Structure 1
Amino acid sequence: MITELISVGTEILLGNIVNTNSAYLSEMCARLGMDLYYQTVVGDNEERMKHTVKMALERSDTIILTGGLGPTQDDLTKEVVAQVLGMELVEDAHTHRRIEEYMENYAKNNPNRKITDNNWKQAMVPKGAIVLDNANGTAPGLILEKNGKTAILLPGPPNELKPMFEEQVYPYLRKKQPDIFYSQLVKICNIGESQIAAEIQDLIENQTNPTIAPYAKTGEVHLRITARAKDEKEGKKLVKPLVRELKIRFGKNIYATDERKTLEEAVVDLLKDQKLKLSLVESCTGGALAARIVNVPGASEVFGTGFVTYSNKAKRKLVMVKKMTLKTVGAVSEKCAREMAKGGCAASGADVCLSVTGIAGPDGGTKEKPVGTVFMGCCYQGRVRVREFHFSGNRAKIREQSVVYALAFLRDCITGNDEES
């Protein structure tokens, strides 16, 4: 089934909002085994929208439009698609009642909010359309079928679009699609994209079904294994041998095979499994590492104390870095990172402590220690390990890399992977 995405909204063209809907819908279409060849963004202009919809219907079996279903005059998606397909608009009594109930409930929290006449515009639907209830807003979604073509209209706000697609559109499309794409993600840290590409070159050259594709992220590489199958059970069976082979090749550097699991979640799960308490001592990352950890639900079971020791005084006072260390080798040094980690364990009573100290720039670098120099220390089971890193990029990029590599380093220290390296 050839599918096309059309995102409606001048605000997208102007860059006022990021078009996350297309990325989401592309992924969902891929899971359904749909052939997605085109994506278009069109502004709130009636003639240009007509042209875009007509062209899409000529070359695709199904078009999915997002946005432009609201109550204002520039919300034209429904009207334009109905006109192109030759379908008249009629009021849907069910949608009218839902809008009325939604607005009445909203008014309870905001007495100044009134139902204006333009809201009823959203209750007008093309005759014969499948109406998709919107549990999170007033604009219903629509499925229009005519002359062997299908147009699916979805509201623009992601918190309305995603549940509507997953609960109502996905089952509808699944029935129309004989095959699906089943995919699994293998997430790897501590190995660069070029090295991974070299180590899986033979798999890529000989692939048929399933296929493997690498995606580089900051400090990580994700390998997506995708199989075309008649159902999920067959897809899992096809993917399983390739996942097993990747585990043999990359071992403990694989931190997850669950697409939803992040690196910080993998670290928190590891700490829980080992029944370990974590503390952090941060300098150049300024609490960003702790923020990643506490993003994980249940992190309080393993993380109790974090120190942001941005100044030398804070390093000395809070985690007992020696004055002589700061005077002789400085805060950005192997010795300081070691003392920060050891002092963090002592000050917090944690089982493991990770420290980060470095030069994020743009100033502060020297010939011996250029911008991007970062030292990390990990104190675990009475032993302190230290790694030296040299990152590139601007201040934000260096800090981002520091956080990701720190999470990977912490994981390695607990699993013993650093010793194997």
Structure 2
Amino acid sequence: MTVELISVGTEILMGSIVNTNAAFLSAGCASIGLSIYNQQVVGDNPDRLSDAINLALGRADTVIITGGLGPTEDDITMQTAASVMGKGLVEDAHTREHIGNVLKNSIYKDNITDNNWKQAMVPEGAIVIDNRNGTAPGIIMERGDKALILIPGPPNELEVMFRKDIKPYLMARNPKAIFSRTIKLCGIGESQAETKIIDLIDAQDNPTVATYAKTGEVQIRITASADTEDAAKELVKPVAKEIKSRFREDVYTVDADCNLEDVVVEMLDKKGLKIVTAESCTGGLLAGRLVNVSGASEVFSQGFVTYSNKAKRKALSVDKAILKKYGAVSKETAKEMAKGAILASDAEVGVSVTGVAGPEPSEGKPVGLVYIGCYYRDKVTVKEFMFRGNRQKIREQAVVMALDMVRRRIIEDDK
């Protein structure tokens, strides 16, 4: 089954916001074996949106439109989509009640304007989907073998609605059962990963195998179709087993919804360990990734952001002589930072990051040079990395590699 995405919003066309919704929906559709060949972005103009919808319906089985479902005058998606499908708008009593309940419990409860009720006007005969995190409902309209789906634009509303309601609907519409497994790797590049499984990629039919590059990691998606989901799972199973055997410790999870920091926090928790971070160029990003995980309070001791040399000396007891001789960006300083963090906390695992994120070289050292240290079991391991990209990209890659170092050190200890 083919799906086409239409993102509505002049702010997207103007570059005022990044269209993360399209990326999320593309990945979500691909994960259940749906094909997306085209995407469109349309401003808040009913004529151009009508043209986009008709074009999409002419070449896709299902069209998903995001955005333009708000209460203001420039939110024209609902009425435009209904018009294209030949449907009038009627008030949905349940949606009106839902909107009222949301607004009464919001900061706007004393100033509810009439235009809010616009969102209760839905196409006749449509499937109406409650918005768990907002007021605008989701809409599904069917015409023959075609479906037109409307989803609110705010990501916190869109993502929940897609997972809970739209994804199951799409899976039910697909004539074949689809099953996908995602194998996530860290510490290996996409080209290297592809080379190790190129025979599987070249021979693919059902299931299919594809690699995807993420910041600091690679994902391998295996997707099979069959008459039943169980049959599709059986097709995926031997391929997944073979891929895991080839990459071994580079595999950090086979759960598509699990991230590297989730794995690290779980590993620390299982072993009853606490972790402390000591960061320079990453400026707290590493600690932030860890505390984003539910349950991190059980394993995260504290974090030090020691950007200046003075802070490194004062908070982490880094020897002044080492800073003077080797510089802040050095193997020696990374080692001292990791040890100092352990001594200044109650943690058993310490991880340090120091480097040059750019945009200019520092201490005569090139942009992208990063040293990461990991203290565990009275031993400090330090690795040198040379990352590419802009300042933010370098910092993000450093965080991923720091998390991966912790993961691998714990694995080594279990051997």
Q: TM-score, structure 1 length as denominator?
A: 0.89
Gaps of 5+ in 2: none
Residue 173 of structure 1 corresponds to 170
* Paired residues for 1:80-229 under 5 Å: 80-106=80-106, 109-116=107-114, 118-229=115-226
Cα drift, residue 36 of structure 1: 2.6
Determine if the alignment matches structure 1 residue 304 to structure 2 residue 301. Answer: yes
* Paired residues for 1:405-420 under 5 Å: 405-416=401-412
Question: Paired residue for 1:343, among 336, 340, 345?
Answer: 340
Amino acid at match of 1:5: L
Q: Distance in 2 between matches of 1:123 and 1:350?
A: 53
Q: 1:216 to 1:168 in 2, by over 3 A?
A: closer
CA deviation vs aligned residue, 1:274-313 (integer Å, no higher than 9, x gap): 2222222222222222222212222222221322222223
Cα drift, residue 344 of structure 1: 2.3
Determine if the alignment matches structure 1 residue 257 to structure 2 residue 254. Answer: yes
Q: Distance in 1 between matches of 2:280 and 2:45?
A: 51
Which of 1 and 2 has greater Rg?
A: 1
Q: Distance in 2 between matches of 1:175 and 1:33?
A: 12
Q: TM-score, structure 2 length as denominator?
A: 0.90
Q: 1:60 to 1:399 in 2, by over 3 A?
A: closer
Amino acid at match of 1:181: I
Note if contact 1:33-1:177 (Cα within 8 Å) is conserved in structure 2. no
Cα drift, residue 258 of structure 1: 0.9
Q: Distance in 1 between matches of 2:19 and 2:9?
A: 10
Q: 1:290 to 1:171 in 2, by over 3 A?
A: closer
Residue 20 of structure 2 corresponds to 20
Query: Any idea what SS the aligned residue of 2:335 has?
Result: helix
Residue 235 of structure 1 corresponds to 232
Amino acid at match of 1:195: Q
Amino acid at match of 2:276: S
Cα drift, residue 356 of structure 1: 2.0
CA deviation vs aligned residue, 1:346-365 (integer Å, no higher than 9, x gap): 23242222222223333343
Query: Any idea what SS the aligned residue of 1:416 has?
Result: helix
Amino acid at match of 1:112: D
Cα drift, residue 332 of structure 1: 2.3
Gaps of 5+ in 1: none
Residue 381 of structure 1 corresponds to 377
Q: 1:28 to 1:344 in 2, by over 3 A?
A: closer
Residue 281 of structure 1 corresponds to 278
Q: Percent identity?
A: 55
The count of corresponding residues between Structure 1 and Structure 2 is 415
Q: Distance in 2 between matches of 1:127 and 1:349?
A: 62
CA deviation vs aligned residue, 1:181-203 (integer Å, no higher than 9, x gap): 32111111112222212111111
